Amino acid sequence: MSTFKVQVRAIDAIVAHPNADSIEFVRIDGYQAIVPKGAFAPRQLVVYIPEAAVVPEYVLSILGLWDERKRKGKCAGSRGNRVRAIKLRDELSQGLVFPLQPVSATEAHLLDERGHRHAVTVGEDVGEVLGITKYEPYIPPELAGEVFNAGFDLIPSFDIENVKSYPHVLQEGEPVVITEKLHGTFTGLCLVPQEHAIEGHGRLLVFSKGLGHKGLAFKDNKANARNVYLRVLRALKLDERLEEIARQLGVTDKPVFVLGETLGAGVQDLAYGGGLHFRAFDVGTGFRGMQRYLNVDDARAVCESVGIASVPLLYDGPFSQTVLAAVTTGQETFSGKQKHLREGGVVRTKTERTAPGLGRVIVKSVNPDYLVRKGETTEYQ
């Protein structure tokens, strides 16, 4: 789950489709979206509608993506109104491009459903004006459960942005580590200081990505007996292992957290073999807004010392676009049997650093074949 915005952007380039005469690509940052040939020009201001957007009828109609006879859109989902990555003649397209009325190099006018004119500028999020929302998938009972308010300060809010949104954040040749992006469900474990223990719940907080953003955690009770996050916690004694990590780090005055992925049968559409598994990808300390993450080698070492396995390592060395492309594609390595497509890779700098507009330099690169895979796909958060 990356940051979801429906932004006004300037087109970086128009690129010819190698296998078609009537369509071409609009390129914005690292993304490309298929459009009718001649419809747009470089530097033109447009609205870029990303994947996972749910688009209203009038926007689909303007883009020629509404079937009036069937009363549904031509995109994904039961109503044909959800944006997903597609391949047209073997070329990947991500997102939709919505036209604007130009005013200047940085300003334009946007017409809403009622025909009202809105002055908009580059970078502005216009999702609300257009009536575009983010798709929220159904969450099965085993990934849901009773929760309590643990407080925003105690639980880290975590997400990884797509490298295509920040195509220049990684420097050629700088030391990086690339790990496999596993298709499971984000699982956060946080041990809070004794003075911040929550009455009736104690010091341990267990949370999903979505809950973590809201400062919520799962209750450890009978009603949550089927809960995947709590089941993997108990099966692998992750609470005891987290306490040992806190002791090794010598941290008692602020939260200590391990972030990872729970995967296996029944978690997502890609199972990686039987049973439930947990693989860590980050260790850190601190209250929200002041979190400090261990360097990747230190995080993997401290997890190994307490018996917590880490996500598979794909590459450790100097960064290059060639290396990134190579590790993004192919088959998964977790099972050792190449059971299915690799979701992609996660790139972080060998030594923690930050970048303007992004913060911590950690980005994901998603396998194009994974994005357009067929069948009953799931993206539970």
The domain that holds 339 is classified in CATH as 3.30.470.30
CB of 33 within 8 A of CB of 93? yes
The residue among 134, 157, 186 that closes a domain is: 134
The verdict on 158 and 119 lying in the same domain is no
User: Considering the entire predicted model, what is its pTM?
Assistant: 0.91
Looking at residue 156, its amino acid is: P
Domain end: 77, 111, 134, which one? 134
* Nearest-5° Cα angle at 349, 343 to 354: 110
Same domain, 200 and 342: yes
Spatial contact of 97 and 47, defined as CB atoms under 8 Å apart: yes
User: Is position 380 within any domain?
Assistant: no
Q: Name the pLDDT band for 139 (thresholds 50, 70, 90).
A: confident
Q: How confident is the model at residue 141 (pLDDT cuts 50, 70, 90)?
A: confident
Residue ending a domain, among 102, 134, 166, is 134
- Is the residue at 279 inside a domain? yes
Q: Are 125 and 221 in a shared domain? A: no
Q: Are residues 122 and 150 in the same domain?
A: no
Q: Which helix (H) or strand (E) holds 261?
A: strand 256-264
Residues 114 and 147 in one domain: no
Interval 75-90 mean pLDDT: 93
Q: What percent of the chain has pLDDT over 70?
A: 98
**pLDDT tens, residue by residue, 19-55:** 888 999 999 999 999 999 999 999 999 999 999 999 9
Indicate whether 104 and 157 sit together in one domain.
no
In a domain, 49, yes or no: yes
Count: domains in the chain: 2
Which residue range forms the structural domain that includes residue 337?
141-371
Q: State whether 96 and 185 are in the same domain.
A: no
Per the domain annotation, does 376 fall within a domain? no
Q: Which of 17, 47, 19, 18 is nearest to 35 (CA)?
A: 17
Shared domain check, 217 and 192: yes
Assigned domain for 1 exists: no
DSSP string, 28-69: ETTEEEEEETTS--TT-EEEEE-TTEE--HHHHHHTT-EETT
Question: What are the pLDDT digits (tens) for 329-342?
Answer: 999 999 888 888 99
Pair 117, 165 in one domain: no
**How far apart are alpha carbons 299 and 96 in whole angstroms?**
39
Same domain (yes/no): 145, 117? no
